[in-house]
Amino acid sequence: MIQRLTPDVGYLPAEMFEALGISQLVIAGGLVHWSGIIAAQAEPTGFRLDGADSAGQLTVILEKLDAMLAAVGSDRTQIVSMTFYSTAIDDLSVALGRIYTPWVGQHRPALTTIGVARLALPQALLEVQGCAVVPELQ
């Protein structure tokens, strides 16, 4: 069984994902896969992008990811793999050491970082996608 959903965790509105033909989360085979997360915050009139640099944006993204994983019965210790897309790859390297490494702790997933020319929103410096185990589905 495949379940597609966009939990209400203060990220982008479900209608936005629906209009784009995207599911924020897809649960299949005991894993939750998430679409790319940027440092966006939902607002009544749309959204805003938070974080002036990679560290700031990474902090927001990881907070959103924690909330999304909790919404489906998982958490950061269950992450299997992540891919980071960055328009500021050198800046990201510093942010990974300061923010990501302590956040993930000893539960280190497979990780790939990719430098890109730009992301869907020009102000976004970072987008993170990946998958995690949902323990109750194992």
Sequence ranges of the domains in the chain: 2-134
Q: How far, CA to CA in Å, does 81 sit from each of 8, 53, 88? A: 23, 23, 21
Question: 3-state class of 74 per DSSP?
Answer: coil
Query: pLDDT-based confidence at 133, cuts 50/70/90?
Result: very high
E strands in 6-125: 25-28, 31-37, 40-43, 46-49, 79-86, 110-115
The DSSP result for 103-122, as a single string, is HHTT-PPEEEEEE-S--SST
Mean pLDDT calculated for residue range 3-17: 89
Mean pLDDT calculated for residue range 103-121: 95
In CATH terms, is domain 2-134 a member of 3.30.1330.40? yes
Q: Is the pLDDT of residue 121 over 90?
A: no
pLDDT score recorded for residue 16:
85
pLDDT digits (tens, 9 = 90+) for 22-71: 999 999 999 999 999 999 887 777 678 888 899 999 999 999 999 999 99
Distance from chain centroid for Cα 81: 11
Angle of CA points 57, 62, 63, to nearest 5°: 100
pLDDT score recorded for residue 46:
67
pLDDT score recorded for residue 48:
84
